[in-house]
Chains A and B, each alone.
Chain A
Amino acid sequence: MSGDLVLAVGGLGISIATDDGVARVLDHVDLRIPRGRIVGVVGESGCGKSTLVRAILGILPRAAQVERGTILLGGEDLLHLSQRELTRRIRGKEISFIPQDPYLALNPVFSVGTQLLEIMRWHAGAGDNGDASRQGHRARLVELLRAVQIPDPEVALERYPHQFSGGQRQRVLIAGALACRPRLVIADEPTSALDVTTQLQILRLLRDLTNRFGVSMLFVTHDFGVVAQLCDEVMVMYAGQSVEAGRTAEILDRPRHPYTQMLIACHPDRTHDLTGIPGTVASPLAAPSGCRFHPRCPSARAVCSAARPSAVVEAAGHEVSCVLYHGPVSHV
């Protein structure tokens, strides 16, 4: 996938020291987010998507060790930046975050306006010469709240979090995420705590806003249905490895990797035969060598446990990391 990339994660490997040993949480993860697109990251529990998000935001736990790989934000490797630089320049400004639970993300004792203004002022000092005055910030916030369809934005700024509904709180957080004109917004399951109809409204909003403001989005979810509704592209993760990536329609209609195929086949929309995938996900403390799916894969061969297969381009923009596709095709 050539073209303008906002974020490019290459071969990321992260381990975390725990009481029970070293957990190789991420083994090899590639992720590409082109400008102005919404890219979904989907995977089951234990796949490492939370760790990936934290690595990009630079908020990994102390016991985590980046073993290899790069996280390039427009050419700059975030892994080489200090915490100071990350806090000042990147987090909240270049890359912002929409968390999963809107109830927990807002401080209940401050008005919504106070909290959002604080974020803007904190980042404004770092050289952004836009509307650096308080008035300017406020005006921009009102515009943003209008953009996220909060009624009466002027009044809303004075209200407290508990006076909003769940969907509205999430909209407020989205406004906050866009406040400092980020290049990339990371949304971590932002709708899983919401009702289905509210979820659709939020997804629509996210789609509109990314188009309107030209922001790129990384959308983490476990729900393939939401990926189908919202994401332009998707990357599938399994046990700390990225296994497949490409345009959503491609992946859903013609999945290549055995894991993706079996996973999609589990969805009630695709099957009457409900059996799941045999076996269980291995713990990162004792991860299988090579391709981590090989113990459960019906097409596994000897070479699968030797080394993780490199990514191969199958169709336009469709990458698979599986030896089944290693042949006379171009390697990435």
Chain B
Amino acid sequence: MSERVILAVEGLETLLGGERRLLGRERPPVRAVAGVSLALRENEILGIVGESGCGKSTLGRTILGIQRETTGTIRLDGRTVSGLGPRAARRARRDIQYLHQDAAAALDPWWSIGRSIEEALVISGVGSRAERKARIDRMLAAVGLEPALKRRYPHELSGGQLRRVTLARVLVLAPRIVILDEPTSGLDLSVQATVLGLIRELLAEFRLTYLFISHDLSVVEEMCDRVAIMYLGRIVELADTRQLFEAPAHPYTRMLLASAPRLATGQDLGAIPIHGEPPSPTAVPSGCAFRTRCPHEIALCADALPTLEPVVHGREVACHRWRDLAAAPVTSARRAP
């Protein structure tokens, strides 16, 4: 992982929904992404972790470009690529590609695998038939699939195979950044291991950079270099993986880590109190959005929105009380070293 920033996002906000009607009530839009800034470094795997309603999928789609941002800037290699409609954005951000959570659903059931992969190239206007075939075969080999599979249809393949197919489809376009949306969801543990191993190999082989969206903390700890924790549209903590898991600073991070099902015996279910459920993005609490569930809430939390403050170089937390909490010990089951 180099220090060179290839994708810089600043103050990104995406409002969704919102209807204005002639008669009847206006439905206010939802701030799915409520001010996100991050800098993606070349060849790194940056994890985005959060629960439902945190906005991680919307963030992914906004960075990709199919969802237009409401405000904020996105710079790819220094070039500003924000402020564009979906089609223009996709053209400008061709270096960014997206891997959907549900691989089976991401393929047209009426198209054979080979044609689906080839279509990616046809749309981009890449070369002749022969060139496309060569690229496709090379990518299929890279993801560990036989060329014979090109004639099959999605429903004939297993979950693991479909995941590889969608990977191949994305890779034939030679992207530099791939946004992976829960790449292991729905996969058996043994298949998950293979897919993760493959994803790692491809990172090295093709010099890729990943934005790794996931809710599975075991996977995130294993795969990611840095992790950003999201809550209701904002990043509340950003740190190197090791630091985050060893000494989580934000109360929400601590709560997440304590809840995660780890493969360790003797986990104490009652270690950290968990109150309530993630509030709906339509009814965001004032000030710090997490305060309604936070055991350390003080008056300030309702009045002022905490912003990301640097703790040390490369580590940021958005909490008014992180200094107080840094002193307190944390119990969370972790992998054996």
> Measuring CB to CB, which residues of chain A are less than 8 angstroms from any residue of chain B?
44-45, 165-168, 195-201, 203-204, 207, 222-226, 228-230, 248-249, 252-253, 262-264, 266-277, 280
User: A269 to chain B: closest CB distance in Å?
Assistant: 4
28 contacts across the A-B interface (CB closer than 8 A): A44-B190, A168-B277, A195-B277, A196-B51, A198-B51, A200-B258, A200-B274, A204-B269, A228-B263, A249-B265, A252-B265, A262-B190, A266-B193, A267-B189, A267-B263, A268-B196, A268-B223, A269-B218, A269-B262, A269-B264, A270-B263, A274-B194, A274-B200, A274-B222, A276-B190, A276-B194, A277-B190, A277-B193
- A44 partner, pick from B188, B215, B274, B336, beta carbons under 8 A: B188
User: In the assembled complex, which residues on chain B have CB atoms less than 8 Å from the CB atom of A262?
Assistant: 190
B195 to A: closest C-beta gap in Å: 8
How many angstroms between the C-alpha atoms of A166 and B196 in the bound complex? 30
**Does any Cβ of A come within 8 Å of B314's Cβ?**
no
Which of A248, A249, A268 has the largest number of chain B CB atoms within 10 A?
A268
Q: Which 6 A-B pairs have the closest CB atoms?
A: A225-B261, A276-B194, A274-B197, A268-B222, A266-B193, A44-B188
Which chain B residues numbered 154 to 193 have a C-beta less than 8 Å away from chain A? 158-159, 188-193
Distance A234 CA – B278 CA, assembled complex (angstroms): 31
Q: Report B's interface with A, CB cutoff 8 A.
A: 51-52, 158-159, 188-194, 196-197, 200, 215, 217-219, 221-223, 255-256, 258-267, 269-270, 274, 277-278, 335-336
The answer to whether A223 touches B261, judged by C-beta atoms less than 8 angstroms apart, is yes
Q: Which residues of B contact A277 (CB under 8 A)?
A: 190, 193
Docked-complex contact B277 and A166, CB < 8 angstroms: yes
Residues of A within 8 A of B188 (CB): 44-45, 222
Residues of chain A within 8 A of B265, CB atoms compared: 228, 248-249, 252-253
Chain A min CB distance to B211 (Å): 19
Q: Which chain A positions have C-beta within 8 A of B270? A: 204
Query: Smallest distance from the beta carbon of A130 to chain B beta carbons, Å?
Result: 31
- Shortest distance in angstroms between A325's beta carbon and chain B's nearest beta carbon? 22
Task: Give min CB distance, A249 to chain B, whole Å.
Answer: 4
| A263-B190 contact in complex given A200-B269, A226-B261, A269-B264, C-beta closer than 8 Å | yes
On chain B, the residues within 8 Å of A268 by CB distance are 193, 196, 218-219, 221-223, 335
- Assess the B264–A165 pair: CB atoms within 8 A: no
* Residues of B contacting A273 in the complex (Cβ-Cβ under 8 angstroms): 197
Chain B residues with CB under 8 Å of A266's CB are 189-190, 192-193
- How far is it, in angstroms, between the C-alpha of A271 and the C-alpha of B261 when the chains are bound? 16
> Whole-angstrom distance between the alpha carbons of A253 and B264 in the complex?
9
Give chain B residues whose Cβ lies under 8 Å from the Cβ of A223: 261
* A199 near B190: Cβ-Cβ < 8 Å: no
Contact A199 B263 (CB under 8 A): no
CB-CB < 8 A to A166: which residues of B? 277
Residue numbers in B under 8 Å from A203 (CB-CB)? 269
With A197-B51, A222-B188, A224-B189: A274-B196 Cβ-Cβ less than 8 Å: yes
Please indicate the chain B residues that have their CB under 8 angstroms from the CB of A271 in the complex.
193
| Neighbouring B residues of A275 by C-beta, 8 Å | 193-194, 197
Chain A residues with Cβ under 8 A from B189's Cβ? 44, 222, 224, 263, 266-267
For the residues of A in contact with B, the DSSP-based class is helix
- Among B189, B217, B256, B267, the one with the most A-chain Cβ atoms within 10 Å of its Cβ is B189
Q: Please state if B335 and A269 are interface contacts (CB–CB under 8 Å).
A: yes
Residue numbers in A under 8 Å from B267 (CB-CB): 228-229
CB distance from A264 to the nearest CB of B (A): 7
Nearest residue, chain A, Cβ from B197:
A274
Residue of A nearest to B161 (CB): A280
- Nearest-Cβ distance from residue B83 to partner chain A, whole angstroms: 34
List the A side residues contacting B192 at CB < 8 Å.
266, 276
Q: Complex: how many Å from CA A230 to CA B259?
A: 12
* Distance in Å: Cβ of B212 to nearest Cβ of chain A: 13
Known: A229-B267, A269-B218. 6 other contacts (CB 8 A): A44-B188, A168-B277, A195-B52, A203-B269, A228-B264, A274-B200
Partner of B263, one of A198, A230, A252: A252
* Contact between chains at B196 and A200 (CB < 8 Å): no
Give Cα distance in the complex from A65 to B309, angstroms.
64
Nearest B residue to A225 via CB reads B261
How far, in whole Å, are A327 and B255 apart by their CA atoms in the complex?
Answer: 47
Contact of B193 among A167, A248, A252, A274 (CB under 8 A): A274
For A276, the closest partner residue in chain B by CB is: B194
The chain B residue with its CB closest to the CB of A44 is B188
Quick one: closest B residue to A42, CB to CB?
B189
Q: For A200, list chain B residues within 8 Å (CB).
A: 258-259, 269, 274
- CB pair A195–B262 under 8 Å, yes or no, is no
Report the bound CA distance from A198 to B221 in whole Å: 21
- Give every chain A residue within 8 A of B197 (Cβ-Cβ): 273-276
Q: For residue B260, which residues in chain A have a CB less than 8 angstroms away from its CB? A: 196, 225
A217 to chain B, nearest CB (A): 15
Q: Kindly report which residue of chain A lies nearest to residue B201, judged by CB atoms.
A: A274
Q: Report Cα–Cα, A289/B188, bound state, in Å.
A: 23
Q: How far apart sit A166 and B279, CA to CA, in the bound complex (Å)? A: 12
Closest residue of B by beta carbon distance from A230: B269
Q: Which of A168, A197, A222, A230 contacts B255 (CB 8 A)?
A: A197
- How many angstroms between the C-alpha atoms of A153 and B266 in the bound complex? 34
Q: Contacting A197 at CB < 8 Å: which of B190, B191, B256?
A: B256
Q: Which residue on B lies nearest to A205, using beta carbons?
A: B269
Q: How far does the Cβ of A101 sit from chain B's closest Cβ, in whole Å? A: 14
Which listed residue, A230, A252, A267, A272, touches B218 by the CB 8 Å rule? A267
- Taking CB atoms, residues of chain A closer than 8 Å to B52 are 195
How many angstroms from the CA of A249 to the CA of B263 in the assembled complex? 10
Q: Which residue of B lies closest to A273 (CB)?
A: B197
Residue on A nearest B334 in the bound complex, by CB:
A269
- Shortest distance in angstroms between B156's beta carbon and chain A's nearest beta carbon? 13
B residues in contact with A204, CB < 8 Å? 269-270
